[in-house]
Amino acid sequence: MTILTHHPLTLPTPLGGTLVNRVRSAQPGELQGRPALELSDRSYADLEMLASGAYSPLTGFLGEADYRSVVERMRLADGTPWSIPITLAVSSEEAAKARGVVALTRQGEPVGFIEVSETYTPDKRWEAREVYRTEDVAHPGVAALYSSGEVYVAGAITLYQVPRGNFPAHHRTPAEVREVIEARGWRSTVAFQTRNPIHRAHEYLQKVALELVDGLLLHPLVGTTKGDDVPADVRVKAYEVLLERYYPRERTLLSVYPAAMRYAGPREAILHALSRRNYGATHFIVGRDHAGVGSYYGTYEAQEIFSHFTAQELGIQILKFEHTFYCKTCGQLVSPRTCPHDGSHHLVLSGTKVRELLRAGEALPAEFTRPEVAEVLREGYRR
């Protein structure tokens, strides 16, 4: 007689070994008389990512030693992989009063606090060159860096309440995503990062990956993006329509990723992968020009940069895909690996061209995106 043993489900260990949780309720009067710092949209998003454990092992905004180490060698001072400095930029005037426990506010209301450990002046041009590979202010990440305060405030943070924002049904902390994965019994989960509406090429990558793993975490970024990106609410509605009709419900999970977009290309690909490990994913898709903008990064640099780390350090398997597109002669979605035809046979629409068609109220080709998704996008552009 054979006895079957059920092994407990083991999710990937969070980076640093423990999932950080810096969320707790406010205590009456605990910030009375304390100085306050008003958070920008980006800093508020960073506060949530830190407090929820999405940025484990970080427990707060980086001090100078970690900042310099991350910019210079893509590691924290202790050697842990980390590719983008998570910092709190303030003016010199604000920095002068940043001592001890300082309230963090949104529209004047306390949302948490920081226990200030130090303040320091960064070298922003050096940071721009290393992190964004350019000092060009036309780069949205560089522009945001240069326009922020000239002093960085470091220290452990506390958040009073996770802001569920505009998507409460889809807004889950890393611990909550892990609970869903465990409840569904997924032994392997692939995460997909996107700031754009899903088109057929994205769907192709996700479904190829689903042939290899148990579950798909569709994890669209809904924090601050550049002005011409499709608004988050339109994108989320498009994802909902697509998942309802074309994906196996028990094998997919739509959950928003509340980080702000930095457009740091290769460096941001690493951050996206490490944070998805914290959410419980075992695999992460990196395609063409991940987190890129304009022509600042090479087509596959975001895949190549992972060679700086061992598989054990990353703790998440990177699935690297080449550019995919619809070939009119093959009659299906293909990549350079599978299609023998030149570009004249291919249907490739740039994001700029898609936005032009939507603004004009024109239909998107069915080979590019599902008709139901195209309709959601058209409605969004009619508003």
Looking at residue 367, its pLDDT comes to: 87
In the chain, residues under CATH classification 3.40.50.620 are 174-382
Residue 196 bears catalytic tag = yes
pTM for this structure? 0.94
Active-site choice (195, 200, 267, 378): 195
Looking at residue 214, its pLDDT comes to: 98
Looking at residue 6, its pLDDT comes to: 45
Looking at residue 368, its pLDDT comes to: 87
CATH annotation of 174-382: 3.40.50.620
Looking at residue 353, its pLDDT comes to: 76
CATH annotation of 36-159: 3.10.400.10
Looking at residue 3, its pLDDT comes to: 45
Stretches where the chain sits below pLDDT 70 are: 1-8, 350-352, 383
On whether the CB atoms of residues 205 and 324 are closer than 8 A, the answer is: yes
pLDDT in tens, 300-315: 999 999 999 999 999 9
Active-site choice (73, 106, 129, 196): 196
In the chain, residues under CATH classification 3.10.400.10 are 36-159
